[in-house]
């Protein structure tokens, strides 16, 4: 008698869990993982009932059964001078269980914490007060990989904070109001990229002081609106290529080796025609998505842009890839303001929903999906 065979079942779908928090979440980040059973999430929150901004550590406990909802347990919190504008994590060069946390605020202060992941506590190490060096809201920050410096942008100024000297700040550049910066990302120990108003990107090299060494200015709205770059990212293996997201749902890559030839991944570019667009609103954050290429990195052409994840004002969390249709992960009735991909487990993603909730996405380990 002939045997009937059946195809293997489809890989498990993405698990999505929405967890109410009852406070507005300005930013969130995964903290480094100490063990397979202990994971932590860092939140920058704002309680509108009491007008209280704070920074918090939560313990994340996944479940073995995908039907059950994972739990978030409050561990520690500290109030901040004002609402957080940017939140970054860097490993501690001294103690892996106490990563460095850098936070910037609307009032102009910089806050540097250590997170004790063993005890679940936060400690303020030092701060740069708002009445000191910065003259307004600090809109973007990033900490170098070795944890030695923090670069900040505010209005038309670029600054560097020496972390070893706990607050020594020097001004790298002041445009005197001619340029506005909103985001920044390190590319190497001496290079970083800034983005801001007018869809401009500037590449900086500390070995060549005085201003940006390479500039790019785009116009994807054909002059009808004044666009802005909200977020940039750089992949360590391809530091010459910058990923950027901003107004009108546009996401593009800029390769400094071909300075005026952007690669449009989403949205419409003036003079360049439309690209596959999954959002038409502000793209608040972009990150390279290691999940989609970690299993076949060696087969990816060096000229092809790596997959990227975005979140937007119109409630979209999606993965976009050069030459491919976008993959929608979430479509919410409210803005998705921030997200983070777990560096140690890139299948796991957290994002903040404007309606005072956190969404946790757990993608299947089988990357054939």
Per-residue pLDDT reduced to its tens digit, 134-159: 678 899 999 998 888 999 998 889 99
Number of helices (H), then strands (E), in the chain: 0, 30
pTM: 0.89
Phi-psi region of 21 (alpha: psi -120 to 50; beta: other; left: phi over 0): alpha
Helix (H, G, I), strand (E, B) or coil at 56: strand
Determine the average pLDDT of the residues in 110-130: 90
What confidence category does residue 366 fall into, taking pLDDT thresholds of 50, 70 and 90? low
User: For 125-155, b where at least 16 C-beta lie within 10 A, e where not — what string?
Assistant: eebbebeebbeebbbbbbbbeebebbbbbbb
pLDDT: which is higher, 2 or 107: 107
Determine the average pLDDT of the residues in 226-247: 90
**Amino acid 67: pLDDT:** 72
Average pLDDT score over the chain? 85
Phi, then psi, of 60 in degrees rounded to 5: -100, 125
CA distances to 126, 259, 287, 306 from 243, in Å = 31, 13, 8, 9
**Amino acid 1: pLDDT:** 38
What confidence category does residue 7 fall into, taking pLDDT thresholds of 50, 70 and 90? very low
**Amino acid 149: pLDDT:** 93
**Amino acid 288: pLDDT:** 96
**Amino acid 6: pLDDT:** 37
Q: What is the pLDDT of residues 238-294, one digit of tens each?
A: 888 999 999 989 999 998 887 667 888 988 654 454 556 788 899 999 999 988 754
Examine the pLDDT at 361 and tell me if it is beyond 80. Answer: yes
Examine the pLDDT at 34 and tell me if it is beyond 90. Answer: no
| Structure letter (DSSP) for residue 38 | B
Cα–Cα distance for residue pair 131/88, rounded to 1 Å: 22
Q: Determine what percent of the chain falls in helix, strand and coil, rounding each to the nearest 5.
A: 5, 50, 45
pLDDT more than 90, % of the chain:
54
Q: What is the pLDDT of residues 74-107, one digit of tens each?
A: 999 999 999 999 999 998 877 878 999 999 999 9
**Amino acid 260: pLDDT:** 66
Examine the pLDDT at 225 and tell me if it is beyond 80. Answer: no
| CA neighbor of 311 nearest in space, from 290, 333, 291, 331 | 331
**43: CB partners within 8 A, 6+ apart:** 21, 25, 27, 28, 55, 56, 57, 58, 352, 358
**Residue 259 near residue 216, CB atoms below 8 Å:** yes
Report the DSSP beta bridge partners of residue 61. 71
Alpha helix segments (H runs only) across the chain: none
Determine the average pLDDT of the residues in 304-308: 89
Examine the pLDDT at 4 and tell me if it is beyond 80. Answer: no
| Assigned token pair, 308 | 């990227």
Determine the average pLDDT of the residues in 295-303: 54
**Amino acid 9: pLDDT:** 43
Q: What is the pLDDT of residues 176-218, one digit of tens each?
A: 878 889 999 999 999 999 999 877 899 999 999 989 999 887 6
pLDDT more than 70, % of the chain:
85
Cα–Cα distance for residue pair 276/340, rounded to 1 Å: 23
**Residue 308 near residue 271, CB atoms below 8 Å:** no
Cα–Cα distance for residue pair 44/24, rounded to 1 Å: 9
What confidence category does residue 300 fall into, taking pLDDT thresholds of 50, 70 and 90? low
């Amino acid at each position: 008698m002939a045997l009937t065979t059946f195809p293997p079942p489809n890989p498990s779908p993405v698990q999505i869990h929405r967890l109410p928090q009852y406070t507005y979440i300005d930013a969130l980040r995964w903290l480094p993982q100490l063990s397979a059973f202990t994971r932590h999430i860092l939140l920058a929150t704002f309680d509108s009932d009491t007008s209280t901004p704070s920074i918090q550590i939560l313990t994340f406990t996944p479940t073995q059964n995908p039907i059950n909802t994972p739990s978030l347990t409050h561990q520690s919190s500290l109030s901040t001078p004002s609402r957080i504008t940017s939140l970054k994590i860097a490993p501690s060069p001294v103690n892996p269980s106490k990563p460095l946390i850098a936070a910037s605020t609307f009032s102009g202060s910089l806050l540097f914490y250590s997170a004790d992941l063993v005890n679940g506590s936060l400690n303020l190490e030092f701060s740069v007060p708002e009445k000191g060096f910065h003259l307004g809201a600090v809109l973007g920050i990033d900490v170098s990989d070795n944890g030695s410096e923090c670069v900040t942008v505010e209005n038309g100024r670029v600054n560097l904070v020496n972390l070893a000297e706990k607050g020594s700040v020097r001004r790298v550049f002041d445009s005197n109001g001619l340029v506005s910066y909103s985001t920044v990302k390190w590319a190497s120990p001496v290079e970083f990229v800034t983005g801001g108003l007018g869809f401009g990107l500037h590449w900086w090299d500390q070995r060549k002081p005085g201003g940006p060494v390479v500039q790019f200015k785009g116009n994807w709205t054909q002059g009808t609106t004044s666009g802005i770059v909200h977020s940039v990212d750089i992949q360590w293996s391809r530091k010459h290529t910058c990923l950027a997201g901003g107004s009108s749902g546009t996401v593009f890559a800029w390769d400094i080796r071909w300075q005026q030839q952007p690669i449009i991944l989403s949205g419409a570019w003036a003079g360049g025609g439309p690209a596959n667009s999954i959002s038409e609103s502000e793209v608040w954050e972009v990150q390279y998505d290691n999940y989609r290429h970690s299993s076949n990195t060696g087969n990816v052409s060096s000229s092809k842009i790596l997959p990227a994840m975005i979140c937007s004002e119109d409630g979209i969390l999606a993965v976009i890839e050069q030459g491919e249709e976008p993959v929608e992960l979430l479509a919410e009735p409210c803005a998705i303001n921030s997200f983070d991909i777990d560096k140690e487990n890139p299948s796991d993603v957290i994002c903040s929903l404007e309606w005072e909730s956190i969404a946790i996405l757990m993608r299947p380990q089988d990357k054939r999906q």
